[in-house]
Amino acid sequence: ACNDSDDASGSSGSSEGSTEGTSEGSSEDAAGEDTQETIKIGVLASLTGALEAYGDQTKKGFELGLDYATDGTMEVAGKKIEVFFEDTETDPTVARQKAIGLLEDQEVDFLVGSSSSGDTLAVTPLAEEYEKIMVVEPAAADSITGSEYNDYIFRTARNSAQDAVAAAASIAGEGVKIATLAPDYSFGHDGVAAFVAAAENLGADIVHEEYADQAATDFTANIQKIIESDPDYLYVVWAGANSPWNQISDMRLQEQGISITTGAPDIAALATMSQLVGMEGFTLYYHTLPDNEVNDWLVKEHAERFDGAVPDLFTPGGMSAAISIVEALKQNDGDADSATLIDIMEGMSFETPKGTMTFRPEDHQALQEMYSITLEESDDVDYPVPVLNRVLTPEETAPPIMNQ
Amino acid sequence: MDLIISLTVNGLATGMLIFLLAAGLTLIFGLMSVLNFAHGGLFIWGAYTGVWSFQMTGSFIVGIIVAIITGLLLGLVTERLIIRPVYGNHIQQILITLGFMLVMQEFIKVVFGPDQKAVFPPEILQGSFLVGDIVLIKYRLFIIAVGLLIFIVSSLILKRTRVGLIVRAGVMNKEMVQSLGINIKLVFMLVFMVGAAMAALSGIMHAVYSGVIYAEMGLEFSILAFIVVVIGGMGSFSGSLFAAILVGLAQAFMAYYVPALSLAVNMLLMTVVLIFRPQGLFGKG
Amino acid sequence: MNIRNVEKSTWIFIIIGLLLFIVPFIVTGRSMQFIIIQIFIFAIFAMSYDILLGFTGIISFGHVMFFGIGAYSTAIVMDRMDATVMSFFIAILVAVVIASIVSFIVGALTLRLKSHFYAMLTLALAGLFLVAAEKWRSLTGGNDGFTFGLPEILRDSHHLYVLCLVSLILLFFGLRRFTKSPFGRVLMAIRENEARTESLGYKVLHYKVIASVAAGVVASIAGVLYALSLRFVNTGVFATDLTIDVLLMTIIGGVGTLVGPILGAGLVELAHHWLSGLSEVHWIFERWIILYGTVYILVVIFFPLGIIGTLQSKFMNRPIKGLREHRKTAGK
Amino acid sequence: MSNSLLKLDQVEAYIQKFHILQGVSFDVKRGGVTVLLGRNGAGKTTTLRTIMGLNQVSKGTITYNDENIGNLPTHQIANKGIGYVPEDQGIFSDLTVGENMRVAMKKEDEGTTKRMEWVLELFPDLKKFWKKPGGALSGGQKQMLAIARAYVNENELLLIDEPSKGLAPIIVDKVTESIEQMKEDTTILLVEQNFMMASKIGNQFFIIDDGKTVHEGQMEELKQDKLLMKKYLGIA
Amino acid sequence: MEAILETKDLSIAFGGHVAVDSVSVQISEKKFTSIIGPNGAGKTTFFNLLSGQLSPTKGSVYFKGQDITKLRTTDRTRIGIGRSFQITNVFPNLTVLENVRLAVQSQAKVRYQMIAHFLHYKRFEQKAHELLERVYLNDKASSIAVNLAHGEKRKLEIAMLLALETELLLLDEPTAGMSLEEVPAIIEVIKEIKRQEDRTIVLIEHKMDMIMDMSDEVLVLFHGELIAQGTPEEIVENETVQSAYLGGSYNEQQLT
Ligand SMILES: Nc1ncnc2c1ncn2[C@@H]1O[C@H](COP(=O)(O)OP(=O)(O)OP(=O)(O)O)[C@@H](O)[C@H]1O
Ligand SMILES: Nc1ncnc2c1ncn2[C@@H]1O[C@H](COP(=O)(O)OP(=O)(O)OP(=O)(O)O)[C@@H](O)[C@H]1O
Ligand SMILES: [Mg+2]
Ligand SMILES: [Mg+2]
């Protein structure tokens, strides 16, 4: 994995000479024309800091996605594609500065990113200002395609509401009693609100909502309250390394007839959930779950390039973002003009490792498959593995439209 | 009633966990008056090396010992290279220890990789006892025991020997202490190493408790340790223990009874304590 | 005032200030401009911190609260009202008023609390602001934050550059005069020996509170500009990391020098930018933060009083005979 | 063993960049009291500090018991049997009187216990305020504590910087007396501005001026030599 | 004779220990009053009560007839009570000149001026130089205070006090640690002030010859209590003073 930043700059550099069919020699006369010859994409991701692992997944996924969508040529409609990866360090200021750099100095045609919702929100107005399309991946805050929406924003990542709808679809039913546990900040509150709406729609009964300090060392009090509310299911929305799983298992929730359900996270975090084997929940991706060619390619290619490693939670997202851009460009004959691209992308469907995604015209959110799963022990790996119960269809997990 | 007992026991355990972390800082910050922002670095290195050797050998004891040794060695290096030039100068201490903190945190990623790592308690400390309706988590009882042990041993050492006095005297007037024939540099170095070892020990204890380690956990928890040492009144183990337990219990009970304020509980507690007792709970004023 | 009476250093600063106006014509990359704007903003923030730390001897771990107040005031006012220049002025007014009130109260607490305890109390108060911003989601949008519009004139990067530079210059000269005034001298006396200052007939508390308010207000202006430059705000503007950053900038440049913090801000931001850029050069620099941390360590070792501070002490009274040289010969 | 216990030979020292000692030479004989005299800022305190290793020697040698102790670490010098009462008393203000004494005690043997008793008899105030923080003592009490801390150890050489400063006449008498008692088995190097006291107990003297020793002799002579007193000490 | 300062039943206790015990005195205006007493008798504490560093547990202090018991240090300085400290108490990292200049500035009531440059006030600096000359410290004007020798710091302390130009001067062992040569010079400075007859001086000293030489009146504190009050001659004759304070050598000295 050490060499991939080299690859990134290397591929953009070396592709220059090998491009066929583009009239490179004549490019001196106008800079504007020059940009017509290459499509430039700037990817913002947390390549250092706490979210480094996510950023890395996005990056790998994106590179693979371009390869896949262009059949390894790195060209679309005769134009070569150049990618710039920038590290946001999970700091909105840096994110904005890097985005300006990409838009102004590199004159990119597309932005992609980023790993945190805060970083993303600091950048989305720039997309509008510069009239460039930004594909949001993997930031999940609802407000990105909700209250802070603008026309240039498309999102291949699922949003919190989709998670919630998927979770509800996995467990909710008439008369099912559900309690929730979430971290006490926007992510948790958004997630729970969406879940409650979806679950109640399916006839479930929300008996308790518990919010805990994300950085807390002790969740006993929170878990105690959940036990007291006597639910059938506990739905946990969580992100970040400091997690409540140990304590949930220590407090013997499952023995008291409370089933745990949550979104299965990336592999490193799955490793901390071995006490939750048997849990029913959902996930947006695990490499064995989708059944389609794109995913097969991804798994195979990923293993080849990265030492046998399997793609992780956000790898397909990165790939989907790349595919969506290339697809749109194909349909526009390689023209990166945003206005026409927006028209094309609204309602556009494209094949991804997660099946067919469709950018919903109203809020540009990609509707996508999610997976209802059970965590099971596995002999091959040292973490519990999500095993498919059923595929939740894009329609089933469509979140409410929130940008009106 | 059960509820109260349960909250209390778990709050106590959290308190002890925090105390373990604060104990090292009680020596380094409270007693030696070094604003050591690299404390969290010592903590994560203890956690990572401890967990690594625990997982390699399968023996938790080995893990603990390795963590302590890491702490001592890192303490030695830190004291000699980073702290020694800046004794008595808080401003320089802030800068240099923060720099070192960044270096240590990032080196974790170089050596152990950037991903979070899962950790599980050793077999005998897994699971919980059920006494009546109360769940007693084994590992937490273990933490309480270790915390008490550290508290008793270190209090005894401070009380029975001149070390505590010498360190305090050395902070006030280094030259005078030397003139009395005491090798204060050596004393400071040893005390710092012990403080570092305590930080490292609390690192592995905490790692097993929370089930996961990641490079950024150091800075997060060291702020908590600073809070506890200050609330406790700087430099007394009893103060830190009391403050740590107070924080632990406050977290537990707030989370249950006033969940809306649970995010703010540490800060509120510190605000209230400092406004009503400006020198900290056990501080002499 | 007679022109001849102006100190030499003042001329130097004026010239540097004027030169900075030309920069946007040379550095045309907007990304670099954005970095320079950030430097200006953090320079203002760091100067305000220097008033506390360097001139009054107060360590605060919660200075970010005023920065955050400035940022949120701007964001909320601009979001709720029309994006006009008028509402920008209202935003500044709101920021300054709130920051003065808060800094007045916080400053008054210095009466009760000594050094570390005060530092930690401010940490707690800033923490409470952070939690408030997190919890009062209808106003702040929680930790994801929200974006807001700006009047046309402020959207232009050049205009923003000039605005920040002018603010920096005005505040710099203002604060410099402030610290060199008889009042400023008393602040230094307080830093050195509080009790003695009191027995000379100065009311220490008044001075501390005024210094605290001055620092708070200036920090809030930095916050205002920060929000403008980002057109976005989230709870990050109350994060302790920012206090730490600004603390480092102040110390690196040289505590109690006022130019030091400006230099420190420049250095920290540029080092950050360049070092993080290195990761594209070679994968080994993916861990550039190690280098970054090392810079801090080296500064303390080679510039123990901060860069400006060390240069000043070297420059102002040149040693008759270096002590170090003598030690060396003595050792042999 | 030679008769000379401590010998400074052309000692020079800097404080920061200031050349403070520019050639201090003297020879303290075993036994008896040697007094260092000189006006304010002459370098007396600096001389004592340099002997203790609290200042670097930049040139010259300091020989103690035929061993060069120049630039040894302070604690090693102290452990060779040299006790020091600094000019600013060096009280650990947050420690109680008792704790101050405890930090000072090198050993906990019989001799120490005896000396402790003797010291407490000399300064009963210390016993009275045993549990009081050192910082809360009166000026004179602090001075007593500083002296007591040096007395409680067995020293071969005692460096005392202005012991009588701030003490009531009756206590000055006591201190004088204690030094007289002590000089039986401890050599004393004294800096003292109280000429009455100095002349009473001093055996030999050295005068330091502008960082150099400029005169030496027996105390008896000095008392007679009005001219010398006028020249260096400004007293007639 | 008018009393400029009066205490009534003034007491303070630290924990159980009564350091100043029901002291009622009147200090006469424009006179020279000395306070003597054994170490720990409460002299410095008494000063602290007069200048406001401590507040009494009982009793009150009057300055020119006005009850000032509740006033803070700052205000007492402003109405005319200035003091020097037994333990040297200066601004360690500022220059000697700046130390004095700050005192001069306070005396000139330039306290909240934050617009003008401090060098604008040339006269402050001049005055500071004059004062340094008076205490023989002018050649150290640009030294950093912490670097002064002990005796030099004592002189600085006096210069700062003089700068305040207060009507009442409280001097706490001003010459302790000063060299034999310079004591007379400082005494001369003090005497000069006395000669001008517009100030009231209260002095704490252990140097009996100084007390004898300059005092109009002597107060004796003992275990916090005022046990004697009178002319220097009367006091020296007092038996308790002789046995508990002066001891043998003073008398010897008188004899020789
Ligand atoms: N840290 C320092 N930096 C610069 N100069 C210093 C420092 N310490 C002392 N000095 C200077 O060194 C000279 C000698 O000081 P020293 O304290 O040895 O004098 P002394 O003879 O003990 O005087 P005193 O009788 O006043 O105590 C003085 O002029 C003093 O100003
Ligand atoms: N802050 C304090 N806390 C407790 N005790 C104190 C405090 N200040 C002074 N004392 C005690 O009060 C008594 C009087 O002290 P004070 O300093 O007034 O003595 P003094 O007469 O000035 O003696 P000296 O001549 O030695 O300076 C002493 O016993 C001292 O220990
Ligand atoms: Mg001296
Ligand atoms: Mg006194």
Q: Whose CA is nearest to atom 5 of ligand 1?
A: E147
- Looking at the 3D structure of chain C, how many domains does it have? 1
Partner residue facing C287 (CB), from B110, B223, B226: B110
Q: How far apart are CA C197 and CA C211, in angstroms?
A: 15
| Contact between chains at D74 and B175 (C-beta distance less than 8 A) | yes
Nearest to D80 by CA among B179, B212, A246, B36: B179
- What's the mean pLDDT in A50-60? 91
Report chain B residues touching chain D, CB-CB < 8 A.
162, 165-166, 168-169, 172-173, 175-185, 284
Chain A residues within 8 A of C282 when measuring between CB atoms: 6
Residue C246 lies in a domain: yes
β-bridge mates for residue D185, sequence order: none
Q: Which residue has the higher pLDDT, B233 or C43?
A: C43
Q: Which ligand is nearest to the CA of D46?
A: 1
Residue type, B285: G
Which chain C residue is nearest to residue A149, measuring alpha carbons? C147
Residue E15 lies in a domain: no
Which chain C residue is nearest to residue D70, measuring alpha carbons? C330
CA of D129 to the centre of ligand 4 (A): 16
Partner residue facing E102 (CB), from C177, C180, C200: C200
Q: Whose CA is nearest to atom 25 of ligand 2?
A: E39
| Contact between chains at A217 and B116 (C-beta distance less than 8 A) | no
Contact A397, A376 (CB under 8 A): no
For the cut 80, the answer to whether the pLDDT of residue D199 exceeds it is yes
DSSP states of A145-185 as a string? TTTT--TTEEE-SPPHHHHHHHHHHHH--TT-EEEEEEESS
Contact A379, A390 (CB under 8 A): no
Q: Which residue has the higher pLDDT, B123 or C282?
A: B123
Q: Is C139 exposed, middle or buried (0-12, 13-18, 19+ CB in 10 A)?
A: middle
Residue E112 lies in a domain: yes
Residue C74 lies in a domain: yes
Q: How far apart are CA B109 and CA A47, in angstroms?
A: 12
Contact B248, B41 (CB under 8 A): no
Contacting subunits of B (3+ beta carbon pairs below 8 A): A, C, D
CA of D45 to the centre of ligand 1 (A): 7
Q: pLDDT tens across D39-61, in order?
A: 888 899 999 999 999 999 999 99
Mutate one of C323, C324, C329, C332 to test the D interface: name it (highest D CB count within 10 A): C323
Residue type, B158: L
Mutate one of C51, C200, C305 to test the E interface: name it (highest E CB count within 10 A): C200
Instruction: Calculate the alpha carbon distances from C198 to C81, D83, E89 in Å.
Output: 47, 38, 12
Question: Does residue E100 line the site of ligand 2, with CB under 6 A?
Answer: no
Contact A45, A114 (CB under 8 A): yes
Contacting subunits of E (3+ beta carbon pairs below 8 A): C, D
Ligand 1 neighbours (beta carbon < 6 A)? D 15-16, 18, 20, 38, 40-46, 87; E 147-152, 177, 179
Chain B residues within 8 A of C127 when measuring between CB atoms: 264, 266-267
Chain D residues within 8 A of E18 when measuring between CB atoms: none
The domain ranges of chain B are: 17-215
For residue C138, say if its preceding peptide bond is cis, omega within 30 degrees of 0: no
Distance from CA of B252 to the nearest CA of A (A): 6
- pLDDT given at position A35: 46
Task: Name the residue of E135, E146, E148 whose CB sits within 8 Å of the most ligand 1 atoms, as the mutation to test its pocket.
Answer: E148
Residues of chain C with pLDDT under 70: 1-7, 316-332
Report the SS3 class of residue C6: coil
Q: Is B145 exposed, middle or buried (0-12, 13-18, 19+ CB in 10 A)?
A: exposed
For the cut 60, the answer to whether the pLDDT of residue A16 exceeds it is no
- pLDDT given at position D233: 66
CA of E39 to the centre of ligand 4 (A): 7
| Contact between chains at C124 and B98 (C-beta distance less than 8 A) | no
**Both tokens assigned to E211:** 């007390």
- Looking at the 3D structure of chain E, how many domains does it have? 1
Pairing of strands D204-209, D33-37: parallel
Chain B residues within 8 A of D112 when measuring between CB atoms: none
Q: Whose CA is nearest to atom 8 of ligand 1?
A: E147
Residue type, A29: D
Partner residue facing B263 (CB), from A184, A217, A224: A184
Question: Does residue E232 line the site of ligand 2, with CB under 6 A?
Answer: no
Whether E and B touch, i.e. at least 3 CB pairs below 8 A, reads as no
Q: Which residue has the higher pLDDT, C47 or A253?
A: C47
Q: How far apart are CA B106 and CA C285, in angstroms?
A: 11
Q: How confident is the model at residue E13 (pLDDT cuts 50, 70, 90)?
A: very high
What are the backbone dihedrals phi and psi of residue A45, each rounded to the nearest 5 degrees, phi first?
Answer: -155, 160
| Contact between chains at C127 and B266 (C-beta distance less than 8 A) | yes
| Contact between chains at D17 and C323 (C-beta distance less than 8 A) | yes
Q: Whose CA is nearest to atom 27 of ligand 1?
A: E150
Distance from CA of C85 to the nearest CA of B (A): 37
- pLDDT given at position C31: 82
Q: How far apart are CA B142 and CA D218, in angstroms?
A: 73
Chain E residues within 8 A of D172 when measuring between CB atoms: 206, 247, 249
Which range marks the domain in which residue E141 is found? 87-159
- What's the mean pLDDT in D122-126? 90
Q: For residue E190, what are the contacts with CB-CB under 8 A and spacing of at least 6?
A: E171, E174, E201, E203, E214
Q: How confident is the model at residue E247 (pLDDT cuts 50, 70, 90)?
A: confident
Question: Does residue E82 line the site of ligand 2, with CB under 6 A?
Answer: no
Which range marks the domain in which residue C291 is found? 29-331
Chain B residues within 8 A of C131 when measuring between CB atoms: 263-264, 267
- pLDDT given at position E208: 85
CATH number at residue C82: 1.10.3470
Partner residue facing C181 (CB), from E83, E103, E115: E115
Q: From the alpha carbon of D38, which atom of ligand 1 is closest?
A: 21
| Contact between chains at C124 and B270 (C-beta distance less than 8 A) | yes
Partner residue facing E206 (CB), from D129, D167, D195: D167
- pLDDT given at position C5: 57
Q: How far apart are CA E21 and CA B222, in angstroms?
A: 50
- What's the mean pLDDT in A4-28? 35
Question: Does residue D138 line the site of ligand 2, with CB under 6 A?
Answer: yes
- pLDDT given at position E214: 86
Q: Which residue has the higher pLDDT, C64 or B130?
A: C64
For Cα atoms C276, C281, C283, give the angle at the middle one, nearest 5 degrees: 80
Q: How confident is the model at residue E240 (pLDDT cuts 50, 70, 90)?
A: confident
Q: pLDDT tens across B206-226, in order?
A: 999 888 899 888 887 888 899
Q: How confident is the model at residue D235 (pLDDT cuts 50, 70, 90)?
A: low
Q: From the alpha carbon of E43, which atom of ligand 2 is closest?
A: 21
Q: How far apart are CA A203 and CA E78, in angstroms?
A: 78
- What's the mean pLDDT in A306-334? 93
Q: pLDDT tens across C247-291, in order?
A: 999 999 999 999 999 999 999 999 988 888 887 777 777 788 899
| Contact between chains at C321 and D59 (C-beta distance less than 8 A) | no
Chain B residues within 8 A of A211 when measuring between CB atoms: 259
Q: pLDDT tens across E75-92, in order?
A: 999 999 999 988 888 999
Is this model's pTM higher than 0.95 or not?
Answer: no
Q: What percent of chain A has pLDDT over 90?
A: 55
Contact B229, B214 (CB under 8 A): no
Interface of A with C in 116-135 (CB under 8 A): 117-118, 121-122, 124-125, 129
Partner residue facing B267 (CB), from C127, C244, C252: C127
Chain C residues within 8 A of D57 when measuring between CB atoms: 330
Q: pLDDT tens across B145-161, in order?
A: 999 999 999 999 988 88
Contact B93, B34 (CB under 8 A): yes
Query: How many inter-chain contacts (C to D, CB under 8 Å) are there?
Result: 28
CA of D170 to the centre of ligand 1 (A): 29
Query: How many inter-chain contacts (A to C, CB under 8 Å) are there?
Result: 97
Q: How far apart are CA E118 and CA E134, in angstroms?
A: 24
